[in-house]
Amino acid sequence: MAQLTFFTGPMNCGKSTLALQIDYTESSAGRRGVRFTCKDRGGESVISSRIGLSEDAVEVTSDLDFWAFVVAEFTAGRRIDYLVCDEAQFYAAEQIDQLAHIVDDLGIDVHCFGILHDFRTAMFPASARLVELADRIEMLQARPRCWCGQPATHNARTVGGVMVTEGSQVVVGDTAGDAEVAYEVLCRKHHRRRENSAVVNVDLTPDPLPFGAAE
Ligand SMILES: Nc1ncnc2c1ncn2[C@@H]1O[C@H](COP(=O)(O)OP(=O)(O)O)[C@@H](O)[C@H]1O
Ligand SMILES: Cc1cn([C@H]2C[C@H](O)[C@@H](COP(=O)(O)O)O2)c(=O)[nH]c1=O
């Protein structure tokens, strides 16, 4: 039975890495898939993971109809066994319905990857629809930690290092680097208290000497 699966977790927990791993593993077994992405940090039409992997992908625009796309591929004589859909939080809710239709009526496995909440803790419309429709929801296990050491569950947006709770739902950005608008993953308590690492003066720079390294 084909399934609609939603792999989720906060930013930086390995979703894009797993998307590329699943695609690699499936295609190595002779299955044919199509990769999709939307507003990846690495640019248009790419799935990029912080671990260094990246692959080209079809960019999901607001007018893309997944059902029509797959039917056109079939009509052109191309087989499709699975879809890998990264940054799914940015899709339209109706596009998630199209993906469920593809699973049910064409028997194609659909693997979706995305964050659940925005920086205000509200669910993205597409993520909410995935929670409503998915056969399976998987929380990724490599969960990043809040600066306090607790597992991070929420995504904070920072502007100039200070956590904000107002602004557009969609602003592409990263958890690392020195961009004016950035993100930091936090536990619920510190998200609720608006206490990110810069505000409480915690330096998250890793120790430059890994365990066992010669001095
Ligand atoms: N140099 C590295 N070595 C090993 N793992 C890394 C390295 N850089 C990043 N990672 C892993 O990659 C994860 C982020 O992967 P990514 O697929 O970009 O996350 P997501 O798509 O969920 O934002 C980090 O949590 C970390 O586990
Ligand atoms: C919380 C939040 C995030 N985003 C953006 C920031 C990134 O470009 C992506 C998440 O990518 P990742 O692969 O999971 O790291 O989403 C946003 O636009 N709005 C938000 O509130």
How far does residue 65's CA lie from ligand 2's centre (Å)?
23
How far does residue 206's CA lie from ligand 1's centre (Å)?
15
CA 135 to chain centre: 18
By annotation, the residues acting in catalysis are 87
Q: Is the CB of 42 under 6 A from ligand 2?
A: no
Using DSSP, state whether 57 is helix, strand or coil: coil
The number of the ligand 1 atom at minimal distance from the alpha carbon of 17 is 17
Instruction: Kindly identify the ligand whose nearest atom is closest to the C-alpha of 7.
Output: 1
Render each residue's pLDDT in the chain as its tens digit; 215 residues.
999 999 999 999 999 999 999 999 999 999 999 999 999 999 999 999 999 999 999 999 999 999 999 999 999 999 999 999 999 999 999 999 999 999 999 999 999 999 999 999 999 999 999 999 999 999 998 889 999 999 999 999 999 999 999 999 999 999 999 899 999 999 999 999 999 999 888 887 766 666 666 55
Q: Is the CB of 89 under 6 A from ligand 1?
A: no
Given a contact cutoff of 8 angstroms between Cβ atoms, the answer to whether 55 and 35 are in contact is yes
- 110 marked as binding residue: no
Instruction: Kindly identify the ligand whose nearest atom is closest to the C-alpha of 140.
Output: 1
Using DSSP, state whether 122 is helix, strand or coil: coil
| Percent composition of the chain: helix, strand, coil (DSSP 3-state, to 5) | 25, 25, 50
Q: What's the count of helices (H) and strands (E) in the chain, helices before strands?
A: 5, 11
How far does residue 27's CA lie from ligand 1's centre (Å)?
22
- Write out the two tokens for 24: 């690699």
For helices 125-133 and 93-106, what crossing angle results, to 10°? 30
Q: Is the CB of 15 under 6 A from ligand 2?
A: yes
- 172 marked as binding residue: yes
On whether ipTM exceeds 0.85, the answer is yes
pTM to 2 decimals? 0.95
- Write out the two tokens for 202: 């915690």
Using DSSP, state whether 69 is helix, strand or coil: helix
- 199 marked as binding residue: no
Euclidean distance between CA atoms 100 and 166, whole angstroms: 33
How far does residue 30's CA lie from ligand 1's centre (Å)?
27
Q: Is the CB of 20 under 6 A from ligand 2?
A: no
Domains and CATH numbers, the chain: 4-139 (3.40.50.300), 144-203 (3.30.60)
Euclidean distance between CA atoms 162 and 199, whole angstroms: 7
Residues β-bridged to residue 35: 84
- 114 marked as binding residue: no
